[in-house]
Amino acid sequence: MKVLVIGLGGVTNGGKTTLAKRLRKQLPNCSILAQDDFFKPESEVEIDEHGFKQYDVLDALYMEEMVTSIRSWMKNPTGSSVSTAESKSTPVNLRSTEEVHILIAEGFLLYNYEPLNEVWDRRYFLTIPYEECKRRRSTRVYQPADQPGYFDGHVWPMYLKHKREMEENTNNIVYLDGTKSEEDLFSYVYNDIMRELEAWKK
């Protein structure tokens, strides 16, 4: 049995969850783990000098628990608590391969936490421009709700900061244009993963 761990990172509202769910439906034995599930309670999240809750930083997340969950899945994907959806169909060219299990970990801060950098087989990162990101963010409802000025005062500056750090310290990231259609993004990533699985057979 082989396991493939895929990172699907990127900017807030970049399309990570939508893409992950589409991939799960089409890839064999595919599970999703969401970084958002590891946020600390609101009472434990720091507040900066402007009164903004510091959600877009690693300290707002139980990252050790996330690493533990991924490593637990890697050891025993069929017995893990990470959810798996049945694929609609297993691609013909995979049916003859030995059993493979795929985990897609999706989140906004996947590549800035050193202990996670050892687990990825593939890394993707979705980007969208400032104006589009702000527009999409304004249509979403969060708990707790975004404060006035929160996007410009915290969310976007933290995204740029962490993206710079990621680019300085991490290699082998495939950047994806989140303004492309869902179909184009799915097709590109799906085919890239399939090529990876095919390479394992050789």
| Residue 197 CB coordination number (10 Å) | 18
Angle at 193 between CA 113 and CA 160, to 5 degrees: 35
Cross-sheet strand order for the sheet of 122-127:
84-85, 30-34, 100-107, 2-10, 122-127, 173-177
Sign of the alpha-carbon torsion through 133, 134, 140, 142: positive
**36, 37, 152, 184: the active-site residue:** 36
| Pairwise CA distance, residues 95 & 37, whole Å | 33
Amino acid at 152: D
| 152 a catalytic residue | no
Q: Which amino acids are annotated catalytic?
A: 36
